[in-house]
Amino acid sequence: MAGKNAIYELVDKRLDAQGFRDEHWEGTFDDYMDIVSRNPKVARNSFQRIFDMILHFGIDRKSKFRREYAQLQFFSDPIDHGDDGIFGLEGSLMHRVDFFKSAAQGYGTERRILLLHGPVGSAKSTICRLLKKGIEYYSKLEEGKMYTFSWKLPREGGEFDIVPCPMHEEPLKLIPQSARRDVLAMLNESLPPEQRISVNGDLDPFCRKTFEDLLKRYDGNWKKVMDHIIVKRFIISEKDRRGIGTFQPKDEKNQDSTELTGDINFRKIAEYGSDSDPRAFNFDGELNIANRGLIEFIEALKLDVAFLYDLLGASQEHMIKPKKFAQTHIDEVIIGHTNEPEYKKLQNNELMEAFRDRTIKIDVPYNVVLDDEIKIYEKDFNKERVRGMHIAPHTIEVAAMWAVLTRLEEPKKAGLTRLQKLKLYSGKSIPGFTEDSVRELTEEAPRRHAGHQSALHSGQDFEFARQRSGDQKERASTRSRS
């Protein structure tokens, strides 16, 4: 039996004291300016950060049916050794990366809601879970460092109250907008065009009021205001509600928009004298706490119309407008997922045209490749998970084959069976059919096989992603090809 000393020793080996100190670093605003001058990428926005996070894990080059495509290692879940790995959706996943690539470079998709659309069990929730897990992990790495700040506010007796920024704002937002553009231009000189940072919008209402009060106190001396700033590392955490939000529909009678945008703290109204005072507001809505990260809307199209209207401003203007309170700027990725019946209702609802215009739909189809389906089954039915029981030979292969066959439509080509169609999708050779035949088959049912079809046309996407990933590792200044 292991003694307590052996247990303590084992725990000490697993703990990283230096890593803990790095994650809890604190310094002055002057210290932060040294950091951001050396590495401007610490001030990336949420879309840039997620895009870089995906490429951080690397890319493999694959070839199928005489076409090249990219296999992104991130979607194999290297963080948890494949527990949430996704197989067989390479093309659909590349469309997702294209969305983040465009948004990271400011081409317009950063003002849209990413809507994952597909049948039940097609890995929509798994994709969202992977993105949340990845951005949380990435924020702990050297490459993914990000920072926020707290206020050191004086009180009677010469002591100070430490008040954290309620929305984890980027410290560069403390630079007045009249000077911020020039500062960003100076920081971006060392970055290639597609990686340049942009810090948009104002501080949240609480920090804005605090900043203005201190600026009045020091007669406009901005540097003295910065003496009240404590900059610190910002680690994204879903369980602690920092940088990741999740919202799902509930009973309409027990759910209102304040769960998204925050609410007035009525106990503090008597203290501050007004319900519009930022100090009397709780910035605890899901859109508030997800600032600088991402928010997931589960079954997005089942939400009440009032919630969907809130998403219009959040996506298009990057603004949220709480009830009886000032507008608040946000920087976050908005992802929703839905099934086909709800999406058809949206298409048929003329009153929701504005919402349709602000979404980018990406299909998440069923997997139709046998080898990938076998990998999915082996992830849950292996010797480590199924202990003390024997799995008969070929059981997993037969189960995977049956599952794929139920997803395939009857071939329109004469003399071709479903089983032969399955073999063609799996890369097997069948007399009388070529690799071009597979592309013709995918066109018969584009909705169900969209992911497979898209994988055949992602060679250019791969070239961009591969070069961008290499640029990150080598910190080269050469512009990537798209």
| CA Rg value for the chain | 25
Asked, for residue 121, whether it belongs to a domain, the answer is: no
- Estimate to the nearest angstrom the gap between the alpha carbon of 41 and the chain centroid: 17
How many domains does the chain fold into? 2
If asked whether residues 197 and 246 sit together in one domain, one would say yes
307, 330, 363 — which closes off a domain? Answer: 363
Task: Choose the final residue of a domain: 363, 381, 412.
Answer: 363
Residues 6+ apart with CB under 8 A from 74: 53, 54, 55, 56, 57, 130, 134
CA distances from 214 to 168, 219, 224 (A): 19, 9, 9
- Together in a domain, 330 and 298: yes
Pair (183, 290) in one structural domain = yes
**Residues 88, 210 within the same domain:** no
Whether residue 270 is found in the same domain as residue 177: yes
Identify whether 303 is part of a domain.
yes
User: Is 385 part of any domain?
Assistant: yes
Residues 305 and 388 both lie in one domain: no
Residue 337: CB atoms within 10 Å: 23
Q: Do 309 and 240 fall within a single domain?
A: yes
Task: Specify whether 371 is located in the same domain as 323.
Answer: no
- The CA distance from 284 to 263, in Å, is 8
Query: Is residue 290 situated within a structural domain?
Result: yes
- Residue ending a domain, among 315, 347, 363, is 363
DSSP 415-446: T--HHHHHHHHTT---TT--HHHHHHHHHHST
Give the model's pLDDT for residue 67: 65
Q: Is 135 a domain residue?
A: no
Indicate if 239 and 385 belong to the same structural domain: no
What is the helix, strand, coil percentage profile of the chain, to 5?
50, 15, 35
Tokens at 414, concatenated: 């004469």
Cβ 263 vs Cβ 320: under 8 Å: no
Return the closest-CA partner of residue 164 out of 218, 206, 220.
206
Residue 351 to residues 214, 306, 422: CA-CA distances in angstroms? 46, 13, 42
CATH of the domain at 208: 3.40.50
Alpha-carbon gap, residue 374 to 368, rounded angstroms: 11
> What's the confidence (pLDDT) of residue 473?
47
411 and 349, same structural domain?
A: no
Q: Is residue 243 part of a domain?
A: yes
Question: Which H/E stretch holds residue 151?
Answer: strand 147-154
Cα separation of the two ends of the chain: 59
Q: Which domain holds residue 79?
A: 53-110+367-473
> For each of the chain's 482 residues, which pLDDT tens digit applies?
568 888 888 888 888 888 889 999 999 999 999 999 999 999 999 999 999 999 999 988 776 656 667 788 999 999 998 889 998 888 788 888 999 999 999 999 999 999 999 998 889 999 999 999 999 999 999 999 999 999 999 888 778 999 999 999 999 999 999 999 999 999 999 889 888 999 999 999 999 999 999 999 999 999 999 999 999 999 999 999 999 999 988 877 777 888 999 998 888 888 888 888 899 999 999 999 999 999 999 999 888 877 888 888 899 999 998 888 889 999 999 999 999 888 888 888 887 888 888 899 999 988 888 999 999 888 888 888 888 888 888 999 999 999 999 988 888 777 788 888 888 888 787 887 776 777 677 666 544 544 443 333 333 333 334 444 454 444 434 433 43
Query: Are residue 348 and residue 383 in the same domain, yes or no?
Result: no
Asked whether residue 123 is domain-assigned, the answer is no
Same domain membership, residue 327 and residue 223: yes
